[in-house]
Amino acid sequence: MAEQESKLRVVILGGGTAGWMTAAGLVRRLPGDQYDVTLVESDEIGIVGVGEATLPHIKQFNDMLGLDEAEFMRATRATFKLGIEFCGWDRPGDRYIHPFGAFGEPWGGVQFQHHWLRLRAQGRETSPFQAYSLAVAAARADAFALPDENLASIRSTYSYAYHFDSGLYAPFLRSWAMARGAKRIEGRVASVERNPETGAVLSLSMQSGERVAGDFFVDCSGFRSLLLGSELGVGWEDWRHWLPCDRALAVPCDHASGAGITPCTRSTARRAGWQWRIPLQHRIGNGYIFSSDFISQEEAQEVLLANLDGAPQNEPRLLRFAPGRRNVAWASNCVAVGLASGFLEPLESTSIFLIQAAVVDLIDLMPSPGPDRAIDPRLADEFNRLTTMHYERIRDFLILHYVANRREGEPLWDYLRAMPLPDSLAHKMALFRARATAPEYQFGLFSRDSWLSVLFGQGLSPVGHDPLADGFDLALIDSKCADFKSRVDGAVDAMPSHSDFIAGYCAATESVAA
Ligand SMILES: Cc1cc2nc3c(=O)[nH]c(=O)nc-3n(C[C@H](O)[C@H](O)[C@H](O)COP(=O)(O)OP(=O)(O)OC[C@H]3O[C@@H](n4cnc5c(N)ncnc54)[C@H](O)[C@@H]3O)c2cc1C
């Protein structure tokens, strides 16, 4: 009894991807004799049911839980993802891949892009920057193999993420977390009880009449943001002036008969937004993210349905959203994770990463158990600082795709080209233009190579490069470039097709497209 009382009771409201990632992370990392984890979810309300493309970090999360990769992939009908292909984002007809991997090698301590730019300036380089990435070459060839841990191998220069069925990941984690001590209460929360003096959340009252009391609450209630937004009244920072898309139409479709499974997400720019294509083992997820100021829902639906690989499996489903974030993610004794905390459109598959980052930060900053349940405000401050950093960096990266476009004459894209930028992004673009310099963060998103892929991919041309590159013998750099490209070609030739790799490694019981 004494032990039960000294445990810190963590109550998670919501059982979507955010709720079950939080529950799984907490039961994996927090000592069970000190923390009690209960999750409340409503089958009647259900989950948002989109969110199928991820970033490589998800593998670290799954590894932290100790999940078996092939079992997880079978259970969620997952495929591998080497990057995102952007079609028509600079101008209609062009395409580039943002790969999960490095471009070239930093010869002589000078980053690759400077050598490449120098060769180009001298008229010696005709290959695009994209030619210097193994992940790009493999994605274009629909090939896949697991990376090599040997750092001397060219196959150590990329990583990968997954596409998975959004309706299957949360239930997979639910079974895992419940087997390790997470408790689940099914039902709808009708009201919230708060301490009249401090404002802290005390308990959730279920429609059934049950009362779920806690010391610390995690709001994973999705766009509703029941605790942080509705109950605690934390305001919303609206980013719609930078990211004007506010609707999505989502529809799954069949694979085209005889087509292999591409190991990358595709994002195709459209007149009033963009269309995603996410290949899973058993179907393809599709959606049109659009701005309701620039196209009607009916027209968006026509465009979406006219651009599918195979027959649609359902009627398109409309989702409304607002880009932005809560002013703080942690207030009083409540922290929001997932859509309850904010939303950035899935252009770079960042929402699940934001959930993961929040869970990891929460584990590090979780209030201590014990008789004194007061929460040190410095924990909340630090969590909020980290959350702001993640959101703002991702926001800037997303805006970059839009602002650096040459789709002249299309009203949405004309607006985007002309809009004032956040200072933080304007600074990064100016540095790149002047000296081909891209951000390099020690933690979080995005890596320098990711920035370079989009900066070059969107057609930005630096006027200068690092002068240290000028000290190298040009013929030597020529031969290093040629050698790198031939190692890329050799590695891709030796890889199986993505479909064959899945068939041998993690095929779900349903058949995999040929
Ligand atoms: C169009 C679109 C495309 C997306 N694509 C991607 C992508 O490719 N990659 C990516 O990383 N992310 C993507 N996302 C984001 C991703 O879907 C979410 O981050 C993820 O699904 C997490 O959602 P959630 O768990 O926060 O909310 P939800 O899935 O909405 O879960 C909310 C939970 O709260 C419960 N709940 C709510 N109210 C109550 C109540 N009163 N009582 C009891 N329970 C309640 C619900 O039952 C549910 O269990 C996309 C989002 C959208 C809108």
CB 53 near ligand 1, within 6 Å: yes
CA–CA separation, 75 and 15 (whole Å)? 18
At position 61, the amino acid (one-letter code) is F
CA–CA separation, 73 and 109 (whole Å)? 39
CA–CA separation, 273 and 324 (whole Å)? 17
CA–CA separation, 337 and 326 (whole Å)? 11
Q: How far is CA 457 from CA 89, 91, 153, 201, 258, in A?
A: 9, 11, 26, 47, 30
Cα-to-centroid distance, 222 and ligand 1 (Å):
5
- Residue identifier of the C-alpha nearest atom 38 of ligand 1: 221
CB 273 near ligand 1, within 6 Å: no
Which atom of ligand 1 sits closest to the CA of residue 190?
A: 41
CA–CA separation, 273 and 412 (whole Å)? 8
Cα-to-centroid distance, 411 and ligand 1 (Å):
31
For a ligand 1 pocket test, name from 11, 12, 17 the mutation site with the most ligand atoms within 8 angstroms of its C-beta: 17
Cα-to-centroid distance, 252 and ligand 1 (Å):
17
CB 16 near ligand 1, within 6 Å: yes
Cα-to-centroid distance, 342 and ligand 1 (Å):
11
CA–CA separation, 81 and 323 (whole Å)? 25
At position 292, the amino acid (one-letter code) is S
Q: Comparing C-alpha atoms, which of 194, 261, 187, 271 is closest to residue 227?
A: 194
- Residue identifier of the C-alpha nearest atom 19 of ligand 1: 351
Cα-to-centroid distance, 321 and ligand 1 (Å):
11
CB 138 near ligand 1, within 6 Å: no
Contact 206, 187 (CB under 8 A): yes
pLDDT tens digit string along 297-314?
A: 999 999 999 999 999 999
CB 51 near ligand 1, within 6 Å: yes
For a ligand 1 pocket test, name from 48, 220, 297 the mutation site with the most ligand atoms within 8 angstroms of its C-beta: 48
Cα-to-centroid distance, 340 and ligand 1 (Å):
8
Catalytic residue positions, numbered = 81
CB 19 near ligand 1, within 6 Å: yes
- Per-residue model confidence (pLDDT) at position 513: 42
CB 40 near ligand 1, within 6 Å: yes
Q: Give bridge partners of residue 343 from the DSSP assignment.
A: 324
3-class secondary-structure state, position 151? coil
- Residue identifier of the C-alpha nearest atom 13 of ligand 1: 51
CA–CA separation, 455 and 179 (whole Å)? 45
Q: Which two tokens mark 227?
A: 């605790």
- Per-residue model confidence (pLDDT) at position 512: 44
Question: What is the pTM assigned to this prediction?
Answer: 0.97
Residues in the chain: 514
CB 319 near ligand 1, within 6 Å: yes
- Residue identifier of the C-alpha nearest atom 14 of ligand 1: 51
- Per-residue model confidence (pLDDT) at position 514: 37
pLDDT values of the chain reduced to their tens digit, one per residue, 514 residues:
455 568 999 999 999 999 999 999 999 999 999 999 999 999 999 999 898 999 999 999 999 999 999 999 999 999 999 999 999 999 999 999 999 999 999 999 999 999 999 999 999 988 999 999 999 999 999 999 999 999 999 999 999 999 999 999 999 999 999 999 999 999 999 999 999 999 999 999 999 999 999 999 999 999 999 999 999 999 999 999 999 999 999 999 999 988 889 999 999 999 999 999 999 999 999 999 999 999 999 999 999 999 999 999 999 999 999 999 999 999 999 999 999 999 999 999 999 999 999 999 999 999 998 777 778 999 999 999 999 999 999 999 999 999 999 999 999 999 999 999 999 999 999 999 999 999 988 888 999 999 999 999 999 999 999 999 999 999 999 999 999 999 999 999 999 999 999 999 999 975 444 3
Strands 265-270 and 83-87: parallel
Helices in 218-308 by DSSP H: which ranges?
297-305
pLDDT tens digit string along 73-97?
A: 999 999 999 999 999 999 999 999 9
